[in-house]
Amino acid sequence: MSDDDRILIEGALKGDQSAFKALMERYRLAIFHIVMKIVRDKEASDDLVQETFMKAFSSLATYRSEYKFSTWLYRIAANSAIDHLRKQRIKTLSLDSPPEGIDGPMDIEVADESFNPEKDLEERERRISINDAIDSLPEKYRVVIMYRHRDDKSYEEIAEALSIPIGTVKARIFRARELLKKKLRPGH
């Protein structure tokens, strides 16, 4: 971490508003670019930049100085953008008031996906097993796997968020997948 960042973070933790402002000015444009690449909407990106700084400053005390401040901040920004997209995808349909079609109200047919306890238990155990395997990975492999498979990030986005070369991202993902295959192999 640069000395400038360290001094500003220490000031911000003590409540120095000018330190907060300096950190925001230093990283605002980079965060905007990261968020804009993900959400592709200027207004939403502007809001998400503000949200990123609010989240970062409210949890600044949890920041660990062995990591680059910019990487920590970029990760918050990327996660905020991804959460925003997830919320946008959630569309609900009221069963109480059916949608209007050209010829009046439309009937809605809802599939009967009856609860299957055995299938549900198997699926829950499989998810727990996969999550346990991912959680047991060394940090550098766990982070890239989470970005790639949970957050659907491109190699370029991961490289940018973690401030590492794209080749390193690919190598870590490959190694993480190999470790997961070993951990998830029956009888392991």
Domain-wise residue ranges, the chain: 3-89, 115-184
pLDDT at 51: 94
For domain 115-184, give the fold.
Answer: Arc Repressor Mutant, subunit A (1.10.10)
4 membership: H or E segment, kind and range = helix 3-13
pLDDT at 131: 79
pLDDT at 81: 93
Q: Amino acid identity, residue 5?
A: D
Identify the CATH assignment for 3-89 out of 1.10.1740.10, 1.10.10.410, 2.60.40.1180, 1.10.10.10.
1.10.1740.10
Total Cβ atoms within 10 A of residue 143: 19
pLDDT in tens, 105-144: 666 666 656 666 777 667 767 666 777 888 888 999 999 9
Which portions of the chain are predicted below pLDDT 70?
1, 90-102, 104-116, 120-121, 124, 126-128, 186-188
